[in-house]
Structure 1
């Protein structure tokens, strides 16, 4: 199961969501608070408070940040 920590209106998050949809992948989306100081859940998962963050437990990914890295990963593993 793929999980994406994301924020509405975030262009980097939208880029990852577009890739997930283009690949036809099911994922659970977690909307994070707009204020970075309120993103403790994201920090617990990835060690930082920025989004997007991908979790892919089947492949041992516990909290991948950076939209370009996530898109490249999705292409490599699921593309």
Structure 2
């Protein structure tokens, strides 16, 4: 499974997503991003915006932002 989570250290919304992925046994990689929005070119490239968290699920061809949307996706699609 190829899942990447773009995250910012100390971001409470990102932490919720990390917790949900861990609790549901989802294997993923974390790409830590810079605090300055202007330095988040990789996030912009993959998602079209610079906010985090952003989840990329290559297996399902899904890229999404907004923690609530990601949490729903984890529960409905990725949970084991």
TM-score (norm 1): 0.96
Structure 1 portions without partners, runs of 5+: none
Equivalent in the alignment of 2:70:
70
More helix per residue: 1 or 2? 1
**Alpha-carbon distance, 1:78 to partner:** 2.1
**Structure 2 CA distance for aligned equivalents of residues 57 and 38 of structure 1:** 24
**Mapping of residues 1-79 of structure 1, within 5 Å:** 1-61=2-62, 63-79=63-79
CA RMSD of aligned residues (A): 0.6
**Segments of 4+ moved more than 2 angstroms:** none
Q: How many residues align?
A: 78
Structure 2 portions without partners, runs of 5+: none
TM-score (norm 2): 0.95
